[in-house]
Amino acid sequence: MFYVPFWTMVAVFISMAVAAAAIHKMTFVDSLVIVMVIALSMSSDMLFCKQFSMYYIVSQQYKGWYSFWSGLLVFPSLAIAFIKFAPRSRYAVALYVAVWSFSLTLFELLIVVPYKISVYPKWRIIPWSPIVYLLAFTLIYVYHKFLEKRIAAK
Residue-by-residue pLDDT tens, the chain, 154 positions = 799 999 999 999 999 999 999 999 999 999 999 999 999 999 999 999 989 999 999 998 998 899 999 999 999 999 999 999 999 999 999 999 999 999 999 999 999 999 999 999 999 999 999 999 999 999 999 999 999 999 977 6
Q: CA distances (Å), 94 to each of 80, 90, 98, in order?
A: 18, 6, 6
The distance of Cα 55 from the centroid of its chain, to the nearest Å, equals: 16
Q: Kindly report the pTM of this predicted structure.
A: 0.94
Determine the pLDDT at residue 154: 64
Q: Which three-class secondary structure state does DSSP give residue 111?
A: helix
What pLDDT score was predicted for residue 116? 96
> Taking the CB of residue 57, how many other CB atoms lie within 10 A of it?
25
CA 46 to CA 53: how far, in whole Å?
A: 9
102 Cβ contact list (under 8 Å, min separation 6) = 130
- How far apart are alpha carbons 151 and 149 in whole angstroms? 6
Rounded distance, CA 101 to CA 119, Å?
19
pLDDT at position 1: 74
Strand partners, 56: 119
